[in-house]
Structure 1
Amino acid sequence: MSFSQKKISKKNLEENFPFVGIDFGTTYSLIGCLLNKKIQIFSGKKENSLLPSIVSYKKNEIIIGEKANEITNENFLGTIFSVKRLLGKSIQEIRNLYPTIPYIFSYDENQEVCIETIQGKISLVKITSEILKTLLEKVKFFLQKEVNTAVITVPSYFDGIQRKKIKDAAILSGLKNIRLLNEPTAAAIAYGCHFQNEGIVLIYDFGGGTFDISILKISKGIFEVLSTSGDSQLGGDDFDELLSKYIEKKSNIFTEKNFFLKRKLLILAKKTKLKLSNKDVALVEFENWKGSITRSEFEHLIDPLVNKSLILLKYTIKEALIQKKEITNVIMVGGSTYIPLIKKKLSLFFKRKIEFSVDPDKAVSIGATIQSNLLFNYQQKFLSKENKFILLDVVSFSLGIELMGKRVEKIIEKNSKIPISVTKEFTTFKNNQTVIMIHILQGEDSFVKNCRSLGKFFLRGIKKQDAGKPRIIVKFNINESGFLEVYANEKQTTIKASLKVDFLHTII
């Protein structure tokens, strides 16, 4: 049960404490907890707080994290990387987006997308739950106490279906009380609470699998999101893919039909990318080929993708109804922001030097941890004065309904402030029509096929009349917790119907 459904009583506070913040990342994941008014980001056995988001399925065991990464070569088909990128997509969508991905996909009896492993079909949700479960075990080991309450961060541009899959995985991992929080918003919370600065802040979050931008206004303890945008299919993994193809071409060793070599080459590309963040030249050995890759070669490869992020950046600033010069601070988040070209491009764009003001790896988990301890007023005593604030968020995607001709009528526009309620009037398009289907859609396109379906319901019993005469009132309501309810009724009668979409935004 989520927080919005039932609050935890003071009596049960001790039972549910600690509240944790989880940054579930494409490449790495982290977990934090508030201890003695200080944020503790938990480390593993190797004293590294970054848990590789990798799961390896062997015959009689499941291995997660660094060890899973180490045994990739001996179990490459059973070792799952970047599962976050696959969540909420059909098999066809995955194949279209990632044609070289080596896994064997299928559906289970619940139509969940699965990967075939030596242990059988494993759903993407189940794989995700193993990563979350491992993070929770870190806290349990340290505190000797079960954890069942968490704020989990997601890309701001994750749609409703993707968010629901994260929530399903969280429940499967053992969590009972769950909230989702946009990743760049979490980073802004970490920044605002640490530096106590006010002004307009832009979060540029370039991770391993997703890219997000949010612009927030911080003033007197109020964090107000002005606009948000991004691309859930743009990240460091795409840099690795481009670099692997480049090495393949230089070495003249082609891996198209050899999944083992393909995975080996992707791992090599990732290591080379990391080296080029600190060096001008990286020596590369692939099979029987030896060569080198320069930073300028790498930058030439990824330049179009970095420019794509800048186009989204301009668009987000425009949607925030501000000028570029009004932005007081730019916060870089995510592992890809270590790449020198990104820092250079951002500095040129803003015409000032851009440096890290918060830890790019830990900012999101720190913000999620702070927010997890601000769910209820009576918990304020656990936080220091400077870590108390109010968060005002926005809708990440436009919401609407299907009209005749498979077109979309937007009812709530993207970046509308939450809470919000909008009502529109519609009518029938056939004579004597007694039933209307209300198909709820999420997205910016004008056509149904290019938007996400969030659900359907029917308004039945409409009085028989000529087309255009019935007056159908449709109301979209999003409450302060980000939950959407859609109501429909005929104005001239008492008939009505509704649908609740409880995984739309799920913010704090």
Structure 2
Amino acid sequence: MENNCSGTLALDLGNTNTVLAFQAEKDRDFILIEIPGITSSPGVIPSVVWFEGGDNVGRIGLSALKKKNLSYSEKYFHSNFKRLIGNPIERQKKKVLSPIESGEKFFKILWENIPLEFNIKRLVLTAPIDTYKGYRKWLISLCESLPINEVALVDEPTAAGIGMNVPLGSIIMIIDIGGSTIDMSVIKTQGGEGKSAPIAELLKFQGKDVSAISKQKLRCAEIISKSGSKVGGKDIDQWIVNYFLPSNQDERNFSIAEKLKCKLSGQEIESERKYLISLFTAENEEKEFFISKEIFEKIMMQNNLLSHLNSLLKDLLNEARGKFFNLDDLNSVILVGGGTQIPLIKKWITNKMSGIQINSPPPIESIAIGALAMTPGVKIKDILIKGLSIRLFNKREQKHFWHPIFYKGQTWPTEKPFELILQASKDGQNIFEIIIGETKTKRNFDVIFENGLPKLSESQNEEEVFKWNKKPLQINVNNECKIGEDSLKLYFSIKKDSSLYLRCLDIYEKELGVFNLGNIF
């Protein structure tokens, strides 16, 4: 790699592991960053902090993890702090650092240890959707001290969907089995037909805090339902140790079990093949055992893992049904976290989601990769304060109606044009009139009175559309068209100068011109 390679760094802070992925400005590929003594594998950092207080610098990642089994680690070893940031419900045991301080210490040490050859022009961070607002508030404060001019933020489910090229506006189920937790969620991503695509939100631009400016709008995925538990890969490691040495709490054994678990999760592993495992007894002596894929799956079954997953899935779907959702509405299932790669769990997911597309991206770095995909051209955009529509003719009802082009709240300048195909409303038509309308900047709501008190009605009136006070554009076609026949292809877009532009082609793809229809304000 070139010295001082400039680009974007994606940092996905997880409950168990944090992922660092870097993408150079002119490169479509990404790099997983290695930091000696901190990363446990390329781009993967255990989300843990060791801090004894005072002037102690502290440690993170692999070097902090190695101190976990010390007798006084309960006070100085900090983990699972991400889940507590922005979450006012859960509480942490008394530690030297609070969850917020743990996160800040983690970021500070990590930033100071990123190799110098990476010239970071933009940092993109990910945030959990269920505690997004509180977590975002913490990140805004954190970014003030980071020596970087541009910081962007995306929500984790959207990043996962974008990373797997799931169509915008899709309903997806995300199953995330990490080291400490199992999280299942059904979400709907932003975007889709007639709506703008999700974009990263800028927190910092040109060195200035832009998180509160009016041009920014939170564009998170919508949670339909969610379930989860504090069970994860680390519990499976302990089950393996307990199977051979009941009640053994030697941290070395858990690390050995984790490596073996990863090996037994490989698709090529034969069920009957046995593997040697050496564990430390209470007397600090090594004792050898044999384990196979069959025994591994037996251990998980004995600890009711599949029953637990069934219960979580049942809760998830019951909540979703309350919002008129069922499995047939799912576009895709995305698997996140190392636990989803265990064959027994993958088989369970496949059986439960029969007929639904299952996407299994790289389990650990998938969200960071999706975050990178959302940010190559991120910039500050304005939002429409009113909707724009085109007037069309309904030949069946013999009346005109307004068809939306851009909705209020969409960002502009637009990245992709809105495409519309026009049909002739009468035989012999060779002139098409383009009439644009707009909604009010403020919507009127119906007010009703109950017991003499004003109250908003449950259903609101549709927003009224007003015709633009501009001369309509007339487009001439060479051939006379027949009623109901596709005749024109229209491509609407809003440019940087806040003008609405129209590119027009006939049905044979012949260019008829690009027209400025007027300013949107």
Q: TM-score, normalised by structure 2?
A: 0.53
How far the C-alpha of 1:133 sits from its partner, in A, is: 3.5
- Partners of 2:49 and 2:105 within 8 A in 1: yes
Aligned to 2:361: 358
- Partners of 2:60 and 2:109 within 8 A in 1: yes
- Partners of 2:240 and 2:257 within 8 A in 1: no
How far the C-alpha of 1:135 sits from its partner, in A, is: 4.8
Helix, strand or coil at the partner of 2:19: strand
Aligned to 1:251: 245
- Partners of 1:202 and 1:215 within 8 A in 2: yes
Aligned to 1:213: 185
For residue 19 of structure 2, the aligned residue among 20, 23, 30 is 30
Aligned to 2:65: 69
**Structure 2 counterpart of 1:56, which letter?**
W
How far the C-alpha of 1:44 sits from its partner, in A, is: 1.4
Aligned to 1:274: 262
Aligned to 1:124: 99
**Structure 2 counterpart of 1:48, which letter?**
P
Cα distance in 1 for residues equivalent to 2:59 and 2:178: 23
- Partners of 2:227 and 2:313 within 8 A in 1: no
Asked whether 1:229 is paired with 2:221, we answer no
Q: 1:159 to 1:225 in 2, by over 3 A?
A: closer
Aligned to 1:82: 80
Cα distance in 1 for residues equivalent to 2:133 and 2:449: 25
- Partners of 1:214 and 1:227 within 8 A in 2: yes
When the two structures are aligned, how many residues end up with a matched partner? 347
How far the C-alpha of 1:317 sits from its partner, in A, is: 5.5
Deviations 1:267-308 (A, max 9, x none): 455445434423656635142565456222332122233223
Q: 1:155 to 1:188 in 2, by over 3 A?
A: same
Aligned pairs for 1:392-471 (under 5 A) are none
For residue 191 of structure 1, the aligned residue among 143, 164, 169 is 164
Aligned to 1:182: 155
How far the C-alpha of 1:324 sits from its partner, in A, is: 2.6
Aligned to 1:53: 47
Which ranges in structure 1 are unaligned for 5 or more consecutive residues?
Answer: 1-16, 96-104, 106-114, 117-121, 256-260, 380-387, 391-419, 428-467, 474-508
Aligned to 2:480: none
Cα distance in 1 for residues equivalent to 2:177 and 2:246: 31
Q: 1:309 to 1:138 in 2, by over 3 A?
A: farther
Q: 1:231 to 1:49 in 2, by over 3 A?
A: same
Cα distance in 1 for residues equivalent to 2:357 and 2:66: 35
Q: TM-score, normalised by structure 1?
A: 0.55
Asked whether 1:204 is paired with 2:175, we answer yes
For residue 371 of structure 2, the aligned residue among 368, 373, 383 is 368
Deviations 1:432-475 (A, max 9, x none): xxxxxxxxxxxxxxxxxxxxxxxxxxxxxxxxxxxx977699xx
**Structure 1 counterpart of 2:64, which letter?**
A
Cα distance in 1 for residues equivalent to 2:299 and 2:329: 33
Q: 1:61 to 1:340 in 2, by over 3 A?
A: same
Aligned to 1:153: 126
Helix, strand or coil at the partner of 2:363: coil
Cα distance in 1 for residues equivalent to 2:448 and 2:153: 32
**Structure 1 counterpart of 2:308, which letter?**
L
**Structure 2 counterpart of 1:27, which letter?**
T
**Structure 1 counterpart of 2:125, which letter?**
I
Helix, strand or coil at the partner of 2:333: strand
Helix, strand or coil at the partner of 1:29: strand
Aligned to 2:116: 141
How far the C-alpha of 1:24 sits from its partner, in A, is: 0.7
- Partners of 2:59 and 2:109 within 8 A in 1: no
- Partners of 1:20 and 1:372 within 8 A in 2: no
**Structure 2 counterpart of 1:54, which letter?**
V
How far the C-alpha of 1:371 sits from its partner, in A, is: 2.5
How far the C-alpha of 1:189 sits from its partner, in A, is: 1.0
How far the C-alpha of 1:343 sits from its partner, in A, is: 1.0
- Partners of 2:129 and 2:221 within 8 A in 1: no
Larger RCO (CA under 8 A, 6+ residues apart)? 1
- Partners of 1:22 and 1:153 within 8 A in 2: yes
Q: CA RMSD in A?
A: 4.6
Q: 1:337 to 1:245 in 2, by over 3 A?
A: closer
Cα distance in 1 for residues equivalent to 2:228 and 2:354: 27
- Partners of 1:184 and 1:205 within 8 A in 2: no
Q: 1:37 to 1:216 in 2, by over 3 A?
A: farther
Helix, strand or coil at the partner of 2:18: strand
**Structure 2 counterpart of 1:190, which letter?**
G
**Structure 1 counterpart of 2:105, which letter?**
E
**Structure 2 counterpart of 1:67, which letter?**
S
Asked whether 1:297 is paired with 2:298, we answer yes
For residue 43 of structure 1, the aligned residue among 30, 33, 36 is 33
- Partners of 1:125 and 1:166 within 8 A in 2: no
Cα distance in 2 for residues equivalent to 1:331 and 1:125: 29
Helix, strand or coil at the partner of 2:368: helix
How far the C-alpha of 1:65 sits from its partner, in A, is: 2.0
Q: 1:243 to 1:363 in 2, by over 3 A?
A: closer
Helix, strand or coil at the partner of 2:116: helix
Greater mean alpha carbon deviation, residues 167-176 or residues 46-55: 167-176
**Structure 2 counterpart of 1:191, which letter?**
M
Deviations 1:309-355 (A, max 9, x none): 42255247546745534534322122221122221111101225876
Give the number of the structure whose alpha-carbon radius of gyration is greater: 2
Aligned to 2:317: 314
Cα distance in 2 for residues equivalent to 1:248 and 1:203: 30
Q: 1:422 to 1:19 in 2, by over 3 A?
A: farther
- Partners of 2:12 and 2:19 within 8 A in 1: yes
Helix, strand or coil at the partner of 1:157: coil
Q: 1:272 to 1:309 in 2, by over 3 A?
A: farther
Percentage of matched positions with identical amino acids: 21
Deviations 1:80-114 (A, max 9, x none): 3332234346798345xxxxxxxxx1xxxxxxxxx
**Structure 1 counterpart of 2:58, which letter?**
I
Cα distance in 2 for residues equivalent to 1:421 and 1:48: 55
Cα distance in 1 for residues equivalent to 2:70 and 2:340: 31
Helix, strand or coil at the partner of 1:93: coil
Which ranges in structure 2 are unaligned for 5 or more consecutive residues?
Answer: 1-5, 199-219, 383-414, 418-442, 457-521
Helix, strand or coil at the partner of 1:48: coil
